[in-house]
Amino acid sequence: MRKLIFSLLVIGLLGFPFSAARADTKEASRLENSGMVLQEIFNVPDDIPQDLIDKAECVIVVPSTLKFAFIFGGSYGRGVMSCRTGEKFDGPWGAPSMMALEGASIGFQIGGNATDFVILVMNPRGATSILSSKVKLGADVSAAAGPKGRAAEASTDVTLRAELLTYSRSRGLFAGISLAGSTLRPDNDANKRLYGSEISAKDIVIEGKAAVPPAAQSMLAVLNKRSPKNLSQ
């Protein structure tokens, strides 16, 4: 009997760190997957124009967004947002905030396929809006399907006016996509699990009050290699 009670206590005690480790692993996997998605997209011959990446203040990556239209009529995705550091967004890419992308319009466009999204945030207003609260794309912040290919193709009125430029990759196909009507918000619960305490997305990304998690190093290395300087000024 004593041996049984001892065994149950050991199992119970082991369960607590296992639960925390599993939560940490979930967030780490999201960061690592986001880095892989960026690297793979940057390896596409006609990917995001270099001049747009160089003018972006932040990048949001949402790997493997899934549709659940058959049940609730929408879609969801969990990703990460990294911005250039410094008051003027002119430093190296910094610690990421976890993000959530939701909306019925996503499900309509991507069908039943798992889809990766990359979103460029093109000005400080767009960045602070997204990091402060839940925003609706096309209403609270202006958004447009991003052009791809040569840099010259990026010089359109829509591109110049949009605060967000959105891209998708599904079944190996990479293209600009409209996400108007969808919403973006900080994933505060995931941030708490990742950083170990309550911390706002703005404190992580804008104020620089969090250290870069080890799992985010590969994603930031990809961004710093592809676009080490902000040329938006």
Task: State the 10-residue block means of pLDDT for the chain, 233 residues long.
Answer: 42 35 72 95 91 96 66 69 93 96 62 80 95 94 88 58 92 86 94 95 95 96 97 84
- The pLDDT, as a whole number, for residue 16 is 33
Number of domains making up the chain: 1
Beta-ladder partners of 80: 61, 98
pTM score: 0.84
209 part of a folded domain: yes
**Residue 232 falls inside a structural domain:** no
Evaluate whether residue 181 is within a structural domain.
yes
Helices (H) and strands (E) in the chain, counts: 8, 9
Q: Is residue 198 part of a domain?
A: yes
In a domain, 231, yes or no: no
DSSP state of 213: P
What SS3 string covers 73-135? CCEEEEEEEEEECCCCCCCCECCCEEEEEECHHHHHHHCCCCEEEEEEECCHHHHHHHHHCCE
Residue 7 lies in a domain: no
- Structure tokens, 170: 């599904």
The closest of 117, 111, 164, 171 to 141, measured between CA atoms, is 164
Q: What is the pLDDT of residues 166-185, one digit of tens each?
A: 999 887 788 898 888 899 99
pLDDT at 160 (0 to 100): 72
DSSP conformation letters of 163-197: SEEEEEEETTEEEE---TT-EEEE-HHHHHHHHSS
Please state, for a pLDDT cut of 90, what percent of the chain lies above it: 62
Whole domain around residue 214: which residue ranges?
A: 12-226
